[in-house]
Amino acid sequence: MSSIKKNEIASYELPATQLDEKSRKARDEKIQIATIALCGCWGCTLSFLDMDEKMIDLFDKIAITRSSFSDVKRIPHRCAIGFVEGGIANEENIETLIHFRENCDILISVGACAIWGGVPAMRNLVSLEDCFKEAYLESPTMLPEQEKILPFHEDLPPITNKVYPCHEIVKMDYFLPGCPPDGDAIFKVLDDLANGREVDLPREINRFD
């Protein structure tokens, strides 16, 4: 795992603006949700926004603690639900996913990438060596005189040998397929969880594309 050097500060260590007491209290009583986009296209996260007006009622019950929208890097306190988009394609993805597992009671794999690797996993049919060559060393878009460099630095997370589904690294509790899943499907799963119901995605809104 990459480590922070002595004279460096990670962005998630920076002080955040404190909420006023009333708002904070109201928020703390809700079901805490954290979301993350690992190796994916953020489509699932955008689909989250497709819940549209249904969000209003839902947000009476839930609060988003850490999210891709708010750019809070670490989960500040224990969350009930972790909403994970994207598969595992580099070491930072692994670290983040483990951080989510350690800090969330329930983890949901959302979308094709989290569930089985999705579009990024198309590289699993090609060796990492060939991927690197195609992307960096023999790229058709390289300038003729350009120096051939394969990025590698201690501050950059190493790319994994292949793209992994999240559940191969840690236990995932629920799976919500789709590329991306519809806002309705996301709402149904969150609403079931927020109301203490068994998660039950109706067949009509389950889809893989």
Binding residues (CB under 8 A) for other proteins: these are: 91, 94, 98, 101-102, 109, 112, 115-119, 121-122, 124-125, 128-129, 132-133, 137, 148, 150, 152, 158-162, 164-165, 167-171, 174-177, 179, 201, 203, 206-209
From the CB of 177, what's the least distance to other proteins, in Å?
6
From the CB of 56, what's the least distance to other proteins, in Å?
27
Cβ neighbour number for residue 22 with a 10 Å cutoff = 8
Residue among 63 and 135 whose Cβ is closer to other proteins: 135
Starting at the earlier edge strand, list the strands of the sheet with 62-66: 62-66, 31-37, 79-85, 104-110, 174-176
From the CB of 50, what's the least distance to other proteins, in Å?
15
Residue among 24 and 148 whose Cβ is closer to other proteins: 148
Q: How far is CA 116 from the centre of its chain?
A: 14
* Closest-CA residue to 160 (of 91, 86, 85, 113): 91
- Name 39's Cβ contacts closer than 8 Å, sequence gap at least 6: 86, 87, 88, 89, 90, 93, 113, 120, 163
| 65 half-sphere exposure, CB direction, 13 A CA radius | 23
| 164 half-sphere exposure, CB direction, 13 A CA radius | 15
Residue among 33 and 177 whose Cβ is closer to other proteins: 177
Residue among 48 and 116 whose Cβ is closer to other proteins: 116
From the CB of 81, what's the least distance to other proteins, in Å?
16
From the CB of 97, what's the least distance to other proteins, in Å?
9
Residue among 61 and 167 whose Cβ is closer to other proteins: 167
